[in-house]
Structure 1
Amino acid sequence: MNMLFEQQLRQPPEDAGVTRRTMTVTMPGAERKRRVVEEERLEIVDLSGISLNSLPNPNLNLTTICKLDLSNNNLQSIPESLIARLLNVVVLDVHSNQLKCLPHSIGCLGKLKTLNVSGNLIASLPKTLVDCRSLEELNVNFNKLMKLPDALGFELTNLKKLSVNSNKLIYLPHSISHLTNLRVLDARLNCLTSLPDDLENLIKLEVLNVSQNFHHLQTLPYSIGLLLSLVELDISYNGITTLPESIGCLKRLHKLCVDGNPLSSPPSLVFEQGLHAVKEYLSEKMNAGHQNSHKKKSWVGKLVRYGTFNGGYGYFRTTEPREDREAFMWSQYRSIDGLTSPRYTGMFSARRFFTTRGYFTR
């Protein structure tokens, strides 16, 4: 396929501060504009929606591209050599194609922040994806994934949004609990049978959607109630019968969707009274359970039983109009010694869970 590049120089506005050059890419049946910012010598290339079956090999300097949009075409593959030359790309969008896999050379994209491969036929992600350590948003919705790379959470620590809905995932890798910058996790419409036990490390997570896993997902981990930044939780259309009592601790939770579950606890009468009643019911049930801690199976109950925390704990009621109050308070706090490596300190620090200061800054 031949490309014809027509270059035109245009005078930028006086306040722009940079020289801008607009280049028109003329291709059979379509025209696309490519904007070049001379100051940084980086280009935005848009080749979306032009019925491409394969990519040409133009004599271009691909290292000058910061955003490449190849979405809404008929691409079945992307050359390894092409991806390897996109050393300065920040955004790569290949959604709505016919891709069955991603090139292994994607690990060369050290500056990549946004990757959208949704709406393809991808059955597995290359292990080299975890080398894209600048990645902040990963969208692999509507593919055929059965699992994610095991090391995903250990390496992609800058990830803020992970969208994996409408796949065939049976589980999420345990390393996901190390994504301490993650704010949105969308894993609906999969075949998830469980969630990782140590979700409490996702200290910035605001939105969690694990709806429509249907009969596959029947329980939620106790740690889901320790996601202190959580604002929205959608667990609708699963096989869940009981909500973890720890959900009563989620003081920032404003939206809880539970439709389509065979829930017996809390009872339907409580749900009819709204979210506040649900949280109060669960918190009171948790307090009652902690008074008989020998019946508790959660690690929080064990910490209390073995004296890591002194004093009792109860529902904290106050007339002070302070939004940063925790729903529960723990008196006479005593820190846990040991396990002080950077990787595990956040995991075992009780101060993070029960301090009266919020850890997420909007």
Structure 2
Amino acid sequence: MMYEHQQVGISKHVDNKGRPMRLEDSDQDSSPKLEIVDLSGMSLDSLPNPPLNLATICKLDLSNNNLQNIPESLTARLLNVIVLDVHSNQLNCLPNSIGCLSKLKILNVSGNLLQQLPRTIDNCRSLQELNANFNKLRQLPENIGFELINLRKLSVNSNKLVFLPNSTSHLSNLRVLDARLNCLHSLPEDLENLVNLQILNVSQNFQYLGGLPYSIGLLMSLVELDVSYNKITALPDSIGCLKKLQKLSVEGNPLVSPPQEVMEQGLHVVKQYLCDNINGMAHKQSHKKNSWLGKLAKCGTFSGSVKIPDREAYIIPSYRPIDGLASPRYMGMFSPKRLFSPKSYFSR
């Protein structure tokens, strides 16, 4: 009875785009009416049998309860759910049937006791936001980056992650990646497919994270980078190429390069220092046949005072859209080793 009583006050009709419907619209429209159901903060230990058709729910809020599990049968029937919020419960696992939620766009499972996410979450291909903060996650599904192609925000801070799966680098629509307060030892080497990433936060991995991959300099949409409170001694010179970068947080690291006197002069000076390092190294090594740094300078990838005559361009003969290149089939297509290998590589 408690469920039914609450249901009357917290359920409301919306159209198929999630917009509230007026009573007269609701009476005239013969199409199935979707429901927003809010059962948050009711101290529920379990879910009673609902008095409504679960297929009509587009948003279900079960947050701030005492739930230890979600029935497989319940999740499997949420065929039209777009938003599922179960944050701040006592969940040890998520049901495998979550993979049936083909329309799910926002999933909030933060503040639980999850040690892993079900592999079936790869089937939620409409998912745009995944919030799994404040759990006990030790790893993420290995194929998460290959399958969740629409994911824009991935928040996994305050867990026990030792690494991010290599497939993470194929989330080409990702805008925000928050992996602070974990136990990360390293980041995936090939980050270059994260072409839309604007915010990257891997701060407070403390004694674990000792370096950043050179490919971080290929995140051309990056606006904010927070690597504070790790054990990083040197920033990759490639960071000097991030033209859109507006905020760089590095405090709490035993940095040697750039030196402290450079860091104190602000982001513009830091970027120029790193860029000068690349151009200087490219100038010294440009005569070496196998030096891709020299080729970077020749291609004009890095701006700086070094001028090298007879600029060359390396062209991939057949064009493919970025979405195709971000698929597993073309894994690593954008890595520096391949982009700047001898021209004969692309003419095979």
Number of the residue aligned with 1:334: 314
Give CA deviations for 1:221-263 in whole Å, capped at 9, x if unaligned.
0011110000000000000000000000001000000010000
Q: Cα distance, 1:36 vs. partner?
A: 1.2
- SS of equivalent to 1:248: helix
Number of the residue aligned with 2:344: none
Long gaps (5+) in structure 1? 6-23, 27-31, 318-329, 355-362
**TM-aligned CA distance change 1:295 to 1:132, over 3 Å:** farther
Whether the 8 Å contact between 2:192 and 2:335 is mirrored in structure 1 is: no
Whether the 8 Å contact between 1:35 and 1:45 is mirrored in structure 2 is: yes
Number of the residue aligned with 1:35: 12
Aligned partner of 1:62: which letter?
Answer: L
The answer to whether structure 1 residue 278 and structure 2 residue 262 are counterparts is no
Number of the residue aligned with 1:109: 101
The answer to whether structure 1 residue 25 and structure 2 residue 7 are counterparts is yes
**TM-aligned CA distance change 1:311 to 1:172, over 3 Å:** closer
Q: Cα distance, 1:116 vs. partner?
A: 0.2
Q: Cα distance, 1:348 vs. partner?
A: 3.0
Q: Measure, in 2, the Cα distance between the counterparts of 1:3 and 1:143.
A: 28
The answer to whether structure 1 residue 124 and structure 2 residue 116 are counterparts is yes
The answer to whether structure 1 residue 154 and structure 2 residue 146 are counterparts is yes
Aligned partner of 2:169: which letter?
Answer: S
Which residue of 330, 333, 337 corresponds with 1:348? 333
Q: Cα distance, 1:346 vs. partner?
A: 8.6
Give CA deviations for 1:162-209 in whole Å, capped at 9, x if unaligned.
000000000000000110000000000000000001111100000000
**TM-aligned CA distance change 1:294 to 1:218, over 3 Å:** farther
Whether the 8 Å contact between 1:310 and 1:334 is mirrored in structure 2 is: no
The normalised TM-score by structure 1 is 0.80
Please list, as runs of the form range in 1=range in 2, the aligned pairs for 1:1-362 lying within 5 A after superposition: 2-5=2-5, 25=7, 32-37=9-14, 38=26, 39=29, 41-293=33-285, 302-303=291-292, 310=298, 315=303, 331-337=311-317, 342=325, 343=327, 347-348=332-333
- SS of equivalent to 2:192: helix
- SS of equivalent to 2:58: strand
Whether the 8 Å contact between 1:219 and 1:240 is mirrored in structure 2 is: yes
Whether the 8 Å contact between 1:309 and 1:334 is mirrored in structure 2 is: no
**TM-aligned CA distance change 1:311 to 1:159, over 3 Å:** closer
Whether the 8 Å contact between 1:87 and 1:108 is mirrored in structure 2 is: yes
**TM-aligned CA distance change 1:173 to 1:345, over 3 Å:** closer
- SS of equivalent to 2:185: coil
**TM-aligned CA distance change 1:313 to 1:71, over 3 Å:** closer
Give CA deviations for 1:81-125 in whole Å, capped at 9, x if unaligned.
000000000000000000000000000000000000000000111
- Higher strand content, 1 or 2: 1
Q: Cα distance, 1:302 vs. partner?
A: 4.7
Long gaps (5+) in structure 2? 15-25, 341-348
The normalised TM-score by structure 2 is 0.83
**TM-aligned CA distance change 1:302 to 1:85, over 3 Å:** farther
- SS of equivalent to 1:315: coil
Give CA deviations for 1:282-314 in whole Å, capped at 9, x if unaligned.
000011112234899xxxx85456x69856766
- SS of equivalent to 2:10: strand
Give CA deviations for 1:11-30 in whole Å, capped at 9, x if unaligned.
xxxxxxxxxxxxx626xxxx
